[in-house]
Amino acid sequence: MTISEFNEILDFAADREREAVEFYRHLQSEAKFAAQIEMLKELEAMEMGHIIMIENIRKNGIGDPKIKIVPNLKISEYISTEAADLDYGYQSLLIRAMKREEASTKLYTDMAVRFADEEIAKLFRQLAGEEAAHKLRFETLYDEWLQNN
């Protein structure tokens, strides 16, 4: 793999993370309660951390990444509601976020399998683990919300 190809892949991943930052910023503008806004700001900061991680990889190489093994509650997989059809109440915010993280996890997992280059596969496995952790967080919050309502 050439340096140019490697940088294109990093650009793809960084662009995807920038989209996630914008997604959480948009949800903040629609959220109704301070606690929701704070939760979404935390997720925005995590996604911004992914951009920094990708740029560090661009400068220093992948190295030996810590790939998270994250349990999957599969709540988002069983919710058939289209996220775009939802309002901006707390339950809907959680569903929107779960669906976004589910899609990101799947994308990065698929990309890890698609590339024969082990360094690139490691990068995508690492990003998939990060997104899976976000998904788990939202699924846990959703499960707690269901138990209390």
What are the domain boundaries of the chain?
A: 3-148
d(CA 16, CA 8): 12
d(CA 45, CA 116): 31
What residue type is 140 in one-letter code? T
What residue type is 27 in one-letter code? L
d(CA 128, CA 37): 25
pTM above 0.75, yes or no: yes
* Structure-block tokens of residue 40: 């979404």
| Sign of the dihedral defined by the CA atoms of residues 91, 92, 94, 98, in that order | positive
pLDDT digits (tens, 9 = 90+) for 131-146: 999 999 999 999 998 8
| Top-tier CATH class for 3-148 | mainly alpha
Q: Is the pLDDT of residue 65 over 80?
A: no
Which helix (H) or strand (E) element contains residue 103? helix 90-114
pLDDT digits (tens, 9 = 90+) for 8-64: 989 999 999 999 999 899 989 888 888 889 988 988 998 999 999 899 988 888 877
Residue 106 sits at the vertex; the CA angle it makes with 146 and 101, to the nearest 5 degrees, is 40
Task: Please list the alpha-helical segments (H only) found in the chain.
Answer: 3-30, 34-60, 75-78, 90-114, 118-148
Burial profile 76-113: b = 16 or more Cβ within 10 angstroms, e = fewer: beebeeebeeeeeebebbbbbbbbbbbebbebbbebbe
